[in-house]
Amino acid sequence: MKTLLVFSLLLQATSGRIYEKCELAQILKEKGLDGYHRHTLANWVCMVDMESGFNTKLTRHYRYHGTITSTNYGIFQINNKEWCDDGTPSFTYNLCQIDCRRLLDDDINDDIECVKLVVVTQLEMDIWI
């Protein structure tokens, strides 16, 4: 039985950095994401556009019956259940070994390293679909 998750967007009170498309594409290319694990630069830019609108401070909470069950963080919308630790008392793997708050700052270098791990170990880019 599939669990229906209802999500809500929560934008942080302070505005995060919102990258321009071409600026982000250049950074992702420099960091080796063009062709990384068979995904084009266009795939990455499109995913970021759809997931966060290029906003480094975006958080998205997923709820079940009014209770937050998980949260996605940052420009790549990386989930706290498996990839980062946000200090909630729920079970988490923290596979990227990173505090989720670091995914909300303007420095996306650690976000890029984490998203590389997500793509290699999960369902490719299908995890964001």
The conformation of residue 106, written as its DSSP 8-state character, comes to S
pLDDT classification of 49: cutoffs 50, 70, 90? very high
User: H or E segment at 67?
Assistant: strand 67-73
Tokens of residue 86, six digits: 């946000």
> Across residues 10-37, what is the average pLDDT?
85
Specify the pLDDT at position 129.
60
CA distances 35 to 29, 31, 109, 124, Å, are 9, 11, 18, 13
CA distances 80 to 34, 42, 74, Å, are 25, 26, 11
Specify the pLDDT at position 15.
55
Q: Look at 10-14, 89-93, 123-127 and tell me which has the smallest mean pLDDT.
A: 10-14
Instruction: Classify domain 6-123 at the CATH topology level.
Output: Lysozyme (1.10.530)
Per-residue pLDDT at 57 exceeds 90: yes
Specify the pLDDT at position 125.
77
Instruction: Give me the residue spans of the domains in the chain.
Output: 6-123
pTM (2 d.p.):
0.84
